[in-house]
Structure 1
Amino acid sequence: MNYFDTFLWVAFPWLAIAAFFIGIFWRWRSDQFGWTSHSTQIYESTLLRISSPMFHWGMVFVIIGHLMGLAIPKSWTRAVGISDVAYHWIATIPGTIAGVAVIIGLVGLIYRRVVNKSVFLATSTSDKIMYVMLGLAILTGFFATVSLQLFGGAHGYDYRETISPWLRQLLIFNAQPEIMAAAPWQFQAHTIAGFALIAVWPFTRLVHAFSAPVGYTTRPYVVYRSRDIRTQPMRRHVAWEPVRSSNRSSSPAEKDEAPWSGA
């Protein structure tokens, strides 16, 4: 085991995790007004209405799949009667479908930001970095799934024997970098991209993921009011007015002397 592998599979993940938690704490303490998704719906809504749900719902199932695959040991699924082959296809097929939805949604969101001038001007430097890091993590993960799991035979690559134990041991301070060093390069690239995304997460708009309300799916739509040309000006109700003489020939002096009364 060389120093490079030790850095990649021990030091780098821990640095990324530390940057994540410290960054989240710092962002919450210093920039709560910026803790938002920075929505650009007001500039363009057609593509957003299609791409955003595909991306977000796809990511929900991708994250669930990651948690199940990395946190649940193989012995647990065998104990409940799920064979390795059955688990492989249960994880691979829905994961591939969710990955396709995520990629289509992400492409639509990026296309929208590039093509629509107003949305492009509202895109910050951190947004650009976020899209690059997010795209790398998603594409490397999808490529690893398709190349090794979907077309890798009946069993595919058994990441529950290598990547899952490596991560669990890493999180309990019992790092075993030699396990991850023996994994296929596709999963290694995805792991590096994933931890890099974790490191920059607190400094981008991705922090809004931790503020999504429980009732998000049942929330009312944001209503934007538009000016209707058919709307008549509102009548002005004046509480009091000066009493004017009906005689238009009255002199200015007489008008100035006209008494005032409450209406």
Structure 2
Amino acid sequence: MGPIDFFLWVAYPYITLTIFIVGHIWRYNHDQFGWSAQSSQFLRSDRLLKWGSLLFHIGVIFVFFGHIGGIVIPHTFYPMIGISEEMYHFGAVWFGSLAGAAMVIGGALLTIRRLSDKRVKSQGSRADLYVLLLIGIVTVVGFTNTAWYTATGGDFDYRYTIGPWFRGILSFRPMPEMLAFAPWGFQAHVIAAFTLFAVWPFTRLVHVWSLPLEYIKRKYIIYRRANPNKSKKAKAQ
């Protein structure tokens, strides 16, 4: 290993995670009005938005928990609850591939909508397109690693390499050798993902942390049609 490996697998993750944390604090303190998804549904509600948003968000949820299960949780935990290597591999490949495909298709539909509709395009910014492109790179590369490399019998197991490396980053015990000799597809996926962490606080992705939990206990809002006769009388007065 050389200085490039140290930068990529030790320094760069800590730099991007620092920007991720500090950037969110700064954004919350200085731009709370801009802390939203900036939805364009009011400009145009169509099938591209409906299916693109649905597929993308469902895919994101399953991909997120898949990464938690494969990277954050040690592989030694699964035999303790009766999940064998074959069972885990089957679920990771097939369910991971379906979730990745949903993200790819959903993201493509949302990108097409943003580029093809003039009103939606004018409402957005270049940063939105850059984020879509970056998310697309992260998703496509990760999907390729799961659906192609792993499914075709690749002998690289991320649970024994990327998993310990990531947990080492979080526990301040970095192990760059775990990723220095990993296949380039997995390396590219990691670099792109940490780059996404760095730009996250400065984009509309911050809406992820604004879960509408109050909606669960909020009372229903009742809308009633106005009486046209009363409206005319009010205007006359």
Relative to the length of structure 2, the TM-score reads 0.90
> Quick one: distance in 1 between partners of 2:221 and 2:141?
35
How far off is 1:79 after superposition?
Answer: 2.1
Q: Greater helix percent: which structure?
A: 2
Q: CA distance change for structure 1 residues 39 and 220 in 2, over 3 Å: closer, same or farther?
A: farther
> Where do 5+ consecutive residues of structure 1 fail to align?
224-230, 241-263
In the TM superposition, what whole-angstrom CA distance separates every residue of 1:215-256 from its partner, at most 9, and x where no partner exists? Answer: 779999999xxxxxxx7893134898xxxxxxxxxxxxxxxx
Q: Does residue 1:79 correspond to 2:106, yes or no? A: no
Q: Is the 8 A contact 2:44 2:120 kept in 1?
A: yes
- Corresponding residue for residue 225 of structure 2: none
- The equivalences for 1:39-188 within 5 A come to 39-46=39-46, 47-152=48-153, 157-188=156-187
> Where do 5+ consecutive residues of structure 2 fail to align?
223-227
How far off is 1:145 after superposition?
Answer: 1.0
Length, aligned pairs only: 234
**What is the percent sequence identity of the aligned residues?**
42
> Quick one: distance in 1 between partners of 2:235 and 2:135?
59
Match of 2:232, as an amino acid? Answer: R
Q: Is the 8 A contact 2:156 2:182 kept in 1?
A: no
> Quick one: distance in 1 between partners of 2:85 and 2:235?
80
Greater shift after overlay, 142-151 or 15-24? 142-151
- Corresponding residue for residue 204 of structure 1: 203
Greater gyration radius: 1
- Corresponding residue for residue 236 of structure 1: 233
> Quick one: distance in 1 between partners of 2:67 and 2:216?
22
> Quick one: distance in 2 between partners of 1:12 and 1:220?
47
Instruction: Detail structure 1 runs of 4+ shifted over 6 Å in the superposition.
Output: 215-223
How far off is 1:157 after superposition?
Answer: 3.0
How far off is 1:105 after superposition?
Answer: 0.5
Kindly report the root-mean-square deviation, in angstroms, between the aligned alpha carbons of the 2 structures.
2.8
Q: Is the 8 A contact 2:52 2:107 kept in 1?
A: yes
Q: Is the 8 A contact 2:53 2:110 kept in 1?
A: yes
Greater shift after overlay, 8-17 or 66-75? 66-75
- In structure 2, the residue corresponding to 1:236 is in which secondary structure? helix
Which structure ranks higher in relative contact order (CA pairs < 8 Å, sequence separation ≥ 6)?
2
- Corresponding residue for residue 255 of structure 1: none
